[in-house]
Amino acid sequence: MKLENWISCHIHAYNYFGGVTRLLVPDNLKTGISKNTRYEAVLNRTYQEMADYYGTAIVPTRVKHPKDKSHAEGGVSFASTWILAALRSRKFFSAEEAQAAVAEKLEELNERDFKKRPGSRREAYLEEEKEFMQPLPSEPYESAIWSPDLKVGNDYLVSDGMNKYSVPYDLIGEKVNLRLTPNTVEVFFRGSRVAIHVRSKVYRRDPVVKPEHMPMEHRMYLSYNEKEFTDWAGTVGPNASTVVKYFLSGGKAPEQGYKYCASLTKLSDRYGPVRLENACKRLLSFSNTPSIRTLSTILKNGQDRQQETEIRKELVQHGITRGADYFRKGGGSR
């Protein structure tokens, strides 16, 4: 039995009886009991949480000793046999239809008179057992499942079995626990809740990610768009605009060029927009397919400054055409 179904059975039973038992005596199924030795019984964390909510104590039977609750075993056996026998010839086309039929037969069974004593099962419960039941909590229990330890991957995502949800990125490599309810996903690290998400009930292709869980670089990446890169390139110069336009139109979609454009902005931050514009101009002078690697090489080696150096040399060489030797020989006295 799945843990969700096991917990739901308890919730439905308490709601049906209109009260909570002081003690619960279950079998030693792995769904509810993690370990049961002659010295201690260790409950599943989810099962223990449910018991704490209802204020009931769980006392499992001894391992392989169903006779410790023989009356309950006999009652369950009789009820299931009686109901299944009554419905054996009927056909059902949905789980809801079958559940409604079982519920109807259950009420019929509880209203039937005993054969060896006066009254019915319902009357016996109301007259003899109801007063010993503890009251139900004001709010119905929301079933919650605790996961075993989960290691946070490099994508800082954890899974509930269907979808993925983000946790703070600084927990990468750490082990966390999930508390799953029908409506929420809570992430706990060393007993403290570090994230909470609204749980999706349908499969999502993309993970559920909160911006505050992301590194700054990843947050910036989410804000990238074609217009911002184009406007930024316009402030640098026409050659940078040409390079950005190539990056954004070189693939099947502009998004494929966002990484290259982002790298271009980092080069501008490192070397300045003037040098970046000169490097783009030099690159476009010999290539129609600009790349970040080539631009980085040009800037790193200072090749963007060669044209400016050549202009300065030309000005120096042609600024004074006669030279110092002319004046040294007395040519200036003429």
Instruction: Transcribe 49-90 into DSSP letters.
Output: HHHHHHT-EE-PPPTT-GGGGHHHHHHHHHHHHHHHHHHTT-
List, in order, residues 6 or more apart from 211 with CB less than 8 Å away.
219, 222
For residue 317, pLDDT beyond 60: no
| Sole residue written with tokens 């239809």 | 97
For residue 332, pLDDT beyond 60: no
Closest alpha carbon to 15 in 133, 97, 144, 127: 133
User: Which three-class secondary structure state does DSSP give residue 151?
Assistant: strand
Task: Tell me the CATH number for domain 3-132.
Answer: 3.30.420.10
Cβ(229)–Cβ(244) under 8 Å? yes
User: Which three-class secondary structure state does DSSP give residue 184?
Assistant: strand
The answer, as to whether pTM is greater than 0.85, is no
CA distance 73 to 152: 44
Gyration radius from the chain CA atoms: 38
What pLDDT is attached to residue 334?
Answer: 45
List, in order, residues 6 or more apart from 332 with CB less than 8 Å away.
326
What pLDDT is attached to residue 254?
Answer: 84
Cβ(14)–Cβ(56) under 8 Å? no
CA distance 165 to 158: 5
In terms of phi and psi (left: phi > 0; alpha: psi -120 to 50; beta: otherwise), the region of 156 is left
For residue 249, pLDDT beyond 80: yes
Domain boundaries defined on the chain: 3-132, 147-216, 224-316
pLDDT digits (tens, 9 = 90+) for 276-305: 999 999 999 888 889 999 999 999 998 888
pLDDT digits (tens, 9 = 90+) for 29-66: 888 888 877 777 788 888 888 999 999 998 888 877 76
Beta bridge partners of 106: none
Chain mean position to CA 326: 82
